[in-house]
Structure 1
Amino acid sequence: MNTSHNQFILNGFNELGALRPFLFIPYFTMFVLSLSANSLLLYVVISVRSLHSPMYILIAGMAFVDLSLPLVFVPNMLLSLLFDWRGISLTGCLVQMYFIHFVGAFQSTLLVWMALDRYFAICTPLYYHERMSFSTFSKFIIPLLVRNVFIVLVVVILAGKLTFCFSNVIDSCFCEHMALVELACGSTTINSVVGLISVFLILVFDFLFTITSYIVIFSSMLRSGLSGAKALHTCITHIVVITVSLIIVLTAFLSFRIRNDFPAAIRVFFSTMYPLFPSCFNPIIYGIRTTEIRQHIWGILMCCCFVKTIPHSQETKLKRMVHLN
């Protein structure tokens, strides 16, 4: 009778041998960038009263998710790279898996809500505040949240019921679904099918819905006589980020299902990038490129740089000017 493993080894980038610890530097840099950029973006939206509108609240929500997702797995991965700490229990693995995939799904869902916000603001401006009120907008929030919780829970429960009798070495830097499932003995067809279905019901559905929303927005702006450049500025950045993120996610998911000569280190790289890449660059795209937020961030940075070199009276005046802007 086979005994199922309860302890696992996260063996990502093991092929690099002695070069593996050097990966600590780029991943730590991305981790610090993610934490600092998203924290600054959250601080600006929360502290500036003029930014307490639905669009900026959604941007703050994205910053909070982008701040949370790296905290779920990056510290453990950095310790593994630097000190070779690779062990994790099955329970810890399943908990980590749930939070990574749930927060990742929530990240995708936030893009849908942001697209809806822009659709209501541009295509139905007279009814914008009515449709973005919590009682009305919750009709779009609750169903998608229930979908995410249910689908991710089913995926993790099915993974937890498997018997792992062949190996306890996970070829990843964190507990990714298919990296764990491929260690199971017996049939894993249901897990693979459910995993693919979850990708299409969450990521692909959200992507198609968001793209459709922006196509409608772009068409509406052209029909109303607004300049194409303004329409492109409103839509293109969002679409590029969604497209790049989706490509990374699908590459990471499909690399575990397509058996070919795909290098293991490249596969692990994509699996770490799909939760980490958006967390680093979303605050730049949705924060720095948003004029109002950019102005307040610049004001805060200028205030921090020069506050020690000016008299106290001018310091107080400068701080007041920053908040008034």
Structure 2
Amino acid sequence: MPQQDNLSGSNSTGVDPSVFFLTGIPGLEALHLWISIPFCSVFTVALLGNCILLYVIKTETSLHKPMFYFLTMLAVIDLVLSTTTVPKILSIFWFNSREISFNACLVQMFFLHSFSIMESALLLAMAFDRYVAICNPLRYASILTNSMIAKIGLVALARAVVLVIPLPFLLRRLPYCGSHVISHCYCEHMAVVNLACANTRFNNIYGIIVALFIVGLDLMFIVLSYVKILRAVLSLASKEEQLKAFGTCGSHLCAILVFYIPIVLSSTIHRFGHHVAPHIHILLANFYLLFPPMMNPVVYGVKTKQIRVRVLLLFRGKSI
């Protein structure tokens, strides 16, 4: 096959390769067509779910509140994450289209990592929203104004860009004089770094610091918010008030678990699971990329009454 010739010929030398080749899921190439079925299904649910969520929030004025503004940002981030990677993954599975230009690879990597960092920041912002709503309800409207929400969104974007923008430049200065075959479905930072034939210690250290800084710092503040929320809820007199307060946090807690558990699991196996088969690494990496965009609209649709009612009315063809 011509594609195989390209792959075998990709071991040519060169400092700045014009093209890389993605393997898909190494070791499971024969099953790519079957694997594409759940990938395509999850992608479709993620697109439909997040688009419906955005439409419902936009058209229903009662949902024009801080929590739903944050949810809108989260839906946009999930759409970008999905559309940045999944179409290329499916083209590998369906058409064996493994080739990706070096510049396109760096662009995909930038969007992938920056929007993942933004999603972590949004989950932290939503934890702050729940903290204010439960611990300072009388000041909720004065603290979480539209301008404050816009500032939080801009800070999340700026932080992501500042932390990720060095990665493409660091990768550009490395020589790639060996294989140009990336053992992955998409251009992930460490997968590209591993192809360089030079000292990559700085790239490795920078990547680890960014990951620990984001996951560690954001998770620490999220846990701190929920410790304060728990104290406030337990101080409420009646069981009914406690359950109602906990109910307002249910969707957000599910979103946190859906986002952070796969990331922590994948990172742990990637760093320490040296005896784990490569296809397990890749499948886990795809899981944490695909699962949150699919689950977030489902979780919020099921657990948030206002959204659930509006979606049901929408599907019944009634005016909302």
Q: Given the two structures, how large is their TM-score scaled by the length of structure 2?
A: 0.89
Q: 2:141 aligns with which of 112, 126, 129?
A: 129
Which residue does the alignment assign to 2:45?
A: 33
Q: CA deviation at 1:109?
A: 1.1
Matched, 1:152 2:164: yes
Which residue does the alignment assign to 1:89?
A: 101
For the residue of structure 1 that corresponds to 2:20, the secondary structure is: strand
Matched, 1:7 2:35: no
Q: 2:221 aligns with which of 209, 216, 237?
A: 209
CA contact (8 A) 1:12 1:265 kept: no
Matched, 1:218 2:218: no
CA contact (8 A) 1:102 1:152 kept: yes
Which residue does the alignment assign to 1:307?
A: none
Q: What is the correspondence of 1:20-59 to structure 2 with a 5 Å cutoff? A: 20-59=32-71
Q: CA deviation at 1:229?
A: 2.9
For the residue of structure 2 that corresponds to 1:295, the secondary structure is: helix
Letter in 2 for 1:297: V
Distance 1:52 1:201, change over 3 A: same
Deviations 1:124-163 (CA, angstroms, capped at 9, x unpaired)? 1111111111334455444433221111112332122211
CA contact (8 A) 2:21 2:181 kept: yes
Distance 1:60 1:137, change over 3 A: closer
Letter in 2 for 1:287: G
Q: Given the two structures, how large is their TM-score scaled by the length of structure 1?
A: 0.88
Which residue does the alignment assign to 2:280?
A: 266
The total of aligned residue pairs comes to 306
Identity of aligned residues (%): 35
Q: For residues 218 and 263 of structure 1, what CA distance do their matches in structure 2 show?
A: 41
Which residue does the alignment assign to 1:293?
A: 307
CA contact (8 A) 2:128 2:225 kept: yes
Q: For residues 140 and 32 of structure 1, what CA distance do their matches in structure 2 show?
A: 30
Q: CA deviation at 1:233?
A: 2.6
Q: CA deviation at 1:238?
A: 2.6
Q: 1:234 aligns with which of 233, 245, 248?
A: 248
Q: For residues 148 and 81 of structure 2, what CA distance do their matches in structure 1 show?
A: 28
Deviations 1:48-68 (CA, angstroms, capped at 9, x unpaired)? 111111111211221122122
Q: For residues 254 and 138 of structure 2, what CA distance do their matches in structure 1 show?
A: 29
Which residue does the alignment assign to 2:193?
A: 181
Q: Which runs of 5+ in 2 are unaligned?
A: 1-12
Q: 1:102 aligns with which of 93, 103, 114?
A: 114
Q: For residues 121 and 231 of structure 1, what CA distance do their matches in structure 2 show?
A: 9
Deviations 1:12-44 (CA, angstroms, capped at 9, x unpaired)? 213113222211111000010101111111111
CA contact (8 A) 1:214 1:235 kept: no
Letter in 2 for 1:154: P
Matched, 1:16 2:65: no
Distance 1:140 1:47, change over 3 A: closer
Q: CA deviation at 1:203?
A: 2.4
Distance 1:294 1:244, change over 3 A: closer
Distance 1:258 1:184, change over 3 A: farther
Which residue does the alignment assign to 2:9?
A: none
Q: For residues 259 and 121 of structure 1, what CA distance do their matches in structure 2 show?
A: 41
Q: What is the correspondence of 1:238-317 to structure 2 with a 5 Å cutoff? A: 238-258=252-272, 260-303=274-317
Which residue does the alignment assign to 2:207?
A: 195
Distance 1:115 1:73, change over 3 A: same
Q: Which runs of 5+ in 1 are unaligned?
A: 304-317
Q: For residues 251 and 87 of structure 1, what CA distance do their matches in structure 2 show?
A: 29
Q: For residues 116 and 174 of structure 1, what CA distance do their matches in structure 2 show?
A: 33
Provide the aligned C-alpha RMSD in A: 2.0
For the residue of structure 2 that corresponds to 1:8, the secondary structure is: strand
Q: For residues 64 and 138 of structure 1, what CA distance do their matches in structure 2 show?
A: 14
Q: For residues 192 and 131 of structure 1, what CA distance do their matches in structure 2 show?
A: 40
